Chain A
Amino acid sequence: NAGVTQTPKFQVLKTGQSMTLQCAQDMNHNSMYWYRQDPGMGLRLIYYSASEGTTDKGEVPNGYNVSRLNKREFSLRLESAAPSQTSVYFCASSLLNTGELFFGEGSRLTVL
């Protein structure tokens, strides 16, 4: 049982480069989320998808785009990376958009 799988686990980018974080879940969940975690800041919601075909902004959406490719996959794209986007990114899913989330292992992104 893989649960929620994120790739890559580590990435170093230069300012201005673009990249996509991939997330896939095999639990047949309807809702998926992207959070970032910075020291002392807890988890901050970037974007979420309550169901296939919908996406909504969270607390800190600027500089990011998302795609809910199908029920299983939810990707996060940084079009022009900035040092302020250095963070640990977590993807999560839930059966319904209720708050009971299952998290992936995280992706550590460094922007130089």
Chain B
Amino acid sequence: QKEVEQNSGPLSVPEGAIASLNCTYSDRGSQSFFWYRQYSGKSPELIMSIYSNGDKEDGRFTAQLNKASQYVSLLIRDSQPSDSATYLCAVNMGGKLIFGQGTELSVKP
């Protein structure tokens, strides 16, 4: 079992809908969590970080963290075709940033 798990997808949503991406992790002591976006053929880029339980909003993106359930999620509101990419969840485990396998999101016009 990987230390950081994501549904690989693909997840397909219509334009304007909410996309929900989920991630679970194994290390209960982890304190910092990240979402990266990777367009096809490109390198990953950081879009959200979250350190405390609850929600963190940044524009159309909301990251949610529940440390008791060891669960992190990313919501994308008003999804656009330009959001089509692979979304990678990452967890800082004792100084090592461990990634999940990524969820491929496709937003259909």
Give the contact stretch, choosing among B13-21, B39-47, B59-67, B70-78. B39-47
The number of chain B residues with a CB under 8 A from chain A is 25
CA distance A44 to B97 in the complex (A): 9
Smallest Cβ distance from A35 to chain B, in angstroms?
Answer: 8
> CB within 8 A of A101: which of B4, B6, B91, B97?
B97
Residues of chain A within 8 A of B95, CB atoms compared: 48, 50, 56, 97
Instruction: Establish whether residues B43 and A99, one from each chain, have CB atoms under 8 Å apart when the complex forms.
Output: no
Of A98, A99, A102, most buried by chain B (CB within 10 Å of CB) is A99
User: Is B32 close to A, CB under 8 A?
Assistant: yes
Render B80-109 as a binary contact track against A, CB cut-off 8 A, 1 for contact.
Answer: 000000001011100111111110000000
Interface pair A43/B8, CB less than 8 Å apart: no
User: Would B96 and A48 count as touching, CB distance under 8 A?
Assistant: yes
**Is the CB of B34 closer than 8 A to any CB of chain A?**
yes
Q: Are B97 and A103 in contact (CB under 8 A)?
A: no
Closest Cβ–Cβ distance, residue B98 to chain A (whole Å): 7
Q: Is A2 an interface residue (CB 8 A)?
A: no
Given contacts A33-B97, A45-B97, contact A99 B44 (CB under 8 A): no
B residues adjacent to A (C-beta < 8 A): 4, 6, 8, 32-34, 36, 42-46, 49, 88, 90-92, 95-102
Question: Which A residues have a C-beta under 8 Å from some C-beta of B?
Answer: 33, 35, 40-45, 48, 50, 56, 58-59, 90, 97-106
